[in-house]
Every structure is written in structure tokens, then in C-alpha cells.
């Protein structure tokens, strides 16, 4: 059942329950068939208002901070698989409390907290190291953890003296919106460089970037890769995609407030901001898809879209619309639920979009709306 965007407040991030459940069902199928544990990565999707639905399909999540670990513990109802480039001493007891798996980014970090780990003899957590295979097929440098000089992970040369005592797992994260064939290529390098340690550990975390729910993804191939790896190594496999869970599950609903024109360039100004509400569009950068719009078409007027903040660069373009837009019309930005939502800010004090769900019964349910106190309390 398609959404009725006129029944949704503006601006608003809205997730479609049916589409969300479809993604979850596919992810669960891959997990069940492959024997791999697939958990949610909060860095890509942390809309905890829909976690009661998510818990029907999966039982874990990956955290990158003490707050994410706590959110997992409280809202997923299970301890987190936690990794952070660094852990603060003041946070580490809480990390232990909220985590089942703790991955360290460097040997120095592991050495620093090893005495604390040894004290927790009755705790049910497992320690791991993030490894850097120095190989990735990510073309966009901003997201490539294997770039020369990367601060992320331990290279094979750093482990010439073997694994430190107490390490039970290895963790790599070198994919970005990738297919199973990219994983297959990475695994060959990981096994070549780190395979000698596989008999000494219990688990391997293959990180995120597995876009299992994207149209055309060969899930059969992925299942085959994972099953063969498990059979070959005996290791427990963990995947922690973020985007895959919320891929194409919802939109950002906005309203045209004004249209300006300068030197023949028309700019739509809606009640949202790229820099505040869709910063990944500028960071990546990428041009979001809009319902009823496409790249400029000859003979049709084209428009930029400029945000409602005062930043000059809060603008993208250009689009041609099937129907000429005007003040009061809705603009629907597609696929805005993964990553986009977790990066929003209240820059300029612009009105933060509400958050809602379009239920499987075909009704809109408001989960959260934001006001002055949300803006003010961040800075007090």
C-alpha cells in the first residue's frame, strides 16, 4: 500500500513498515541459510522507534560508541558488538557493561585496557582486533578505510609476533554499498594475510557495506561464500550492514515555500536543508532522487533546490519536474532513511523534520516531533 504523502506532516522522515519488513525478511533469510549472524549497524540506521519491529527478525547490533552500545542494550534488548577507533577511560566500564564483543583498533588500545579485561573474569564478552587488509574496492576516498596511512585497523606486519593473549576474533570493514563479489575478493586477501590466525580465534566480523537488499544483489552467491568460509575455517561469521536494513524504505517529505530566480536560474526553497537534514548529499556528494522529477529535460524548466538555512552552499541541482512546482506543493526526497537520518543537525535552528512510520495498515503514526527545546538543549 503506497503512502499518502498529504497525510504526512512536513517536514518529516517517514519509514514504510511494509518495505522495512521486506528488507528484514530478506536479511533474516540470508542469515538462516548461511549460518552467519547478521546484526544492524547503528551508524547507518538508529531509528529506535521501529526497533520493536526489527527485534522480530534480528537480535543484535553493532555500536561505535558508548551511547550506541547503551542504545543496543536498552532497545535491541541485547549487548552490543562494539568497535571504536579509541575508547575513553571514563567510558570503558560502560562499554564492558553494554557489550558482548569489544573490538580494538590498535595493539596499544588493547594493551591499555587488557588489565581491565582480565578483571572481568565472569563477564560474557569477547575481545577482538580490527584488521586492515590494505585492500578495498571502494573508489571514494572519504569512505575507504584502506587508504594509505589509514588510522583504522592493524596491518599484517603489525602481527609478526602473533596475536596477543585473550584475542578471540578479528574484524574487518572495507566495503561500501558493495555486492557479494567484492566481499569474495576481499576474503581472498584477508585469508592470505591473516588466515594463519584462524585456528586461534572463534569469530570473524566481516563488517558492513553488504548491500544485500539492493535490487540485483546476488544473495545466493553471498550465502554460498559464507557457507564455504564457515566450512573451511570453522569460524562464527558476523556481518553488520547498516544501509541494507533501511535501503529504499522511506522518504523525507518536504514542502515548497518559495521559488527564487537569479540570472535565469530558478531555485526551489523548501522547508528543509541539505546541510542540516541531508548532509551526506553534500559530504559524499550525491544527488538524491525526487519523486516526479528527473535530470533536466530539454524543453522543460529546470530547478535547483536550496535549503532553508543561510549557508550559501546549501544547494543542489538540477531537476526537471513532471508537474511545475509551486509554493505549497510537496517535494518527496527518496531513500532518506539510512545514513541520512543519523547525520542530521539543528544548524541555524532550522526546524528539524519529524519522524514517523507509515504502518502496514496504511496509516501514518507520528513517532517524534522536534521543537525549540531540542535545539536549545543541545547548546546549554
Exposed (0-12), middle (13-18) or buried (19+): which is 80, by Cβ within 10 Å?
buried
Does 17 map to a domain?
Answer: no
Cis peptide bond prior to 318, omega within 30° of 0? yes
Q: pLDDT at position 285, please?
A: 86
The residues that bridge with 251 in the sheet, in sequence order, are 14, 334
What pLDDT is attached to residue 122? 58
Grid coordinates given for 63: 555500536
Residues 224 and 89 in one domain: yes
What's the domain count of the chain?
2
- What is the reported pLDDT for 284? 87
Residue 105 falls within a domain, yes or no?
Answer: yes
48 and 157 within one domain? yes
Contact 306, 276 (CB under 8 A): no
211 and 292 share one domain? no
Same domain, 318 and 193: no
Q: Which three cell numbers stand for residue 78?
A: 541485547
Using CA atoms, how far residue 185 sits from 61, 109, 169, 178, 241, in Å, is 25, 29, 21, 11, 18
Whether residue 112 is contained in a domain is answered as: yes
Q: Is residue 24 part of a domain?
A: no
The 10s digit of each residue's pLDDT in 184-212 is 999 999 999 999 999 999 999 999 999 99
21 within domain boundaries? no
Angle in degrees, 0-180, between the axes of helices 219-233 and 180-194, rounded to the nearest 10: 20
Is 193 in the same domain as 264?
no
95 and 197 in a single domain? The answer is: yes
pLDDT digits (tens, 9 = 90+) for 119-161: 875 557 899 999 999 999 887 778 889 999 999 999 999 999 9
Q: Are residues 213 and 290 in the same domain?
A: no
Q: Which structural domain, as residue segments, surrounds residue 348?
A: 5-12+250-336+344-377
User: Do the domain assignments include residue 72?
Assistant: yes
In a domain, 119, yes or no: yes
pLDDT of 105 over the 70 cut:
yes
CA atoms of 221 and 45, how far apart (whole Å): 25
CATH number of the domain that residue 129 is part of: 3.20.20.10
Q: Does residue 190 share a domain with residue 156?
A: yes
Distance, in Å, from the CA atom of 150 to the CA atom of 144, rounded to the nearest integer, reads 9
pLDDT, residue 330, reads 97
Q: Are residues 296 and 268 in the same domain?
A: yes
Shared domain for 166 and 117, answered yes or no, is yes
Look at residue 165 in the predicted model and tell me its pLDDT.
Answer: 95
Per-state percent for the chain, helix, strand, coil, to nearest 5: 35, 25, 40
Span 27-80, pLDDT tens digits: 999 999 999 999 999 999 999 999 999 999 999 999 999 999 999 999 999 999
Question: With a threshold of 0.85, does the pTM exceed it?
Answer: yes
Ordered alpha helix ranges (H), the chain: 17-34, 51-54, 66-71, 89-98, 107-119, 180-194, 219-233, 243-246, 274-277, 279-283, 372-377
Tell me whether residue 25 is in a domain.
Answer: no
Q: Is 281 found in the same domain as 219?
A: no
The residue out of 209, 225, 246 marking a domain boundary is 246
Residues 283-300 have a mean pLDDT of 92
Q: Looking at the structure, do residues 234 and 140 belong to the same domain, yes or no?
A: yes
Backbone phi, then psi, for 225, in 5-degree steps? -60, -45
CATH of the domain at 267: 2.40.37.10
Amino acid at each position: 500500500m503506497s503512502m499518502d504523502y498529504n497525510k504526512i506532516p512536513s517536514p518529516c522522515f517517514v519509514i514504510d513498515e511494509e518495505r522495512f519488513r521486506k528488507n528484514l525478511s530478506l536479511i533474516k533469510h540470508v542469515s538462516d541459510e548461511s549460518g552467519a549472524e547478521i546484526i544492524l549497524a547503528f551508524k547507518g540506521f538508529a531509528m529506535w522507534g521501529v526497533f520493536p519491529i526489527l527485534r522480530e527478525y534480528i537480535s543484535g547490533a553493532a555500536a561505535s560508541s558508548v551511547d550506541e552500545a547503551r542504545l543496543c542494550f536498552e532497545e535491541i534488548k541485547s549487548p552490543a558488538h562494539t568497535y571504536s577507533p579509541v575508547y575513553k577511560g571514563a567510558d570503558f566500564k560502560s562499554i564492558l557493561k553494554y557489550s558482548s564483543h569489544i573490538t580494538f583498533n590498535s595493539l596499544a588500545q588493547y594493551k591499555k585496557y587488557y588489565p581491565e579485561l582480565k578483571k572481568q573474569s565472569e563477564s560474557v564478552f569477547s575481545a577482538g582486533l580490527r584488521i586492515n587488509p590494505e585492500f578495498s574496492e571502494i573508489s571514494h576516498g572519504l569512505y575507504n578505510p584502506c587508504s594509505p596511512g589509514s588510522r583504522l585497523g592493524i596491518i599484517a606486519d603489525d602481527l609478526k609476533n602473533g596475536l596477543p593473549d585473550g584475542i578471540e576474533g578479528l574484524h574487518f570493514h572495507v566495503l561500501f554499498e558493495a555486492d557479494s563479489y567484492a566481499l569474495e575478493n576481499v576474503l581472498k586477501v584477508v585469508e592470505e594475510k591473516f588466515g594463519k590466525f584462524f585456528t586461534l580465534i572463534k569469530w570473524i566480523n566481516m563488517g558492513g557495506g553488504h548491500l544485500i537488499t539492493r535490487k540485483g544483489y546476488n544473495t545466493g552467491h553471498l550465502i554460498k561464500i559464507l557457507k564455504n568460509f564457515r566450512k573451511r575455517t570453522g569460524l562464527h561469521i558476523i556481518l553488520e550492514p547498516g544501509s541494507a536494513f533501511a535501503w529504499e524504505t522511506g522518504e523525507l517529505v518536504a514542502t515548497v515555500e518559495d521559488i527564487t530566480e537569479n540570472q535565469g536560474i530558478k531555485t526551489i526553497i523548501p522547508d528543509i536543508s541539505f546541510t542540516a537534514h541531508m548532509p551526506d548529499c553534500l559530504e559524499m556528494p550525491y544527488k538524491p532522487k525526487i519523486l516526479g522529477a528527473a535530470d533536466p529535460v530539454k524543453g522543460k524548466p529546470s530547478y535547483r533546490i536550496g535549503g532553508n538555512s543561510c549557508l550559501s552552499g546549501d544547494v543542489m541541482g538540477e531537476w526537471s519536474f513532471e508537474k511545475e512546482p509551486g509554493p505549497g506543493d510537496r517535494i518527496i526526497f527518496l531513500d532518506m532513511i539510512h545514513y541520512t537520518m543519523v547525520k542530521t543537525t539543528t544548524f541555524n535552528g532550522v526546524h528539524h523534520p519529524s519522524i514517523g512510520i507509515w504502518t502496514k495498515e496504511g496509516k501514518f503514526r507520528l513517532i517524534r516531533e522536534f521543537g525549540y527545546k531540542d535545539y536549545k538543549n543541545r547548546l546549554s
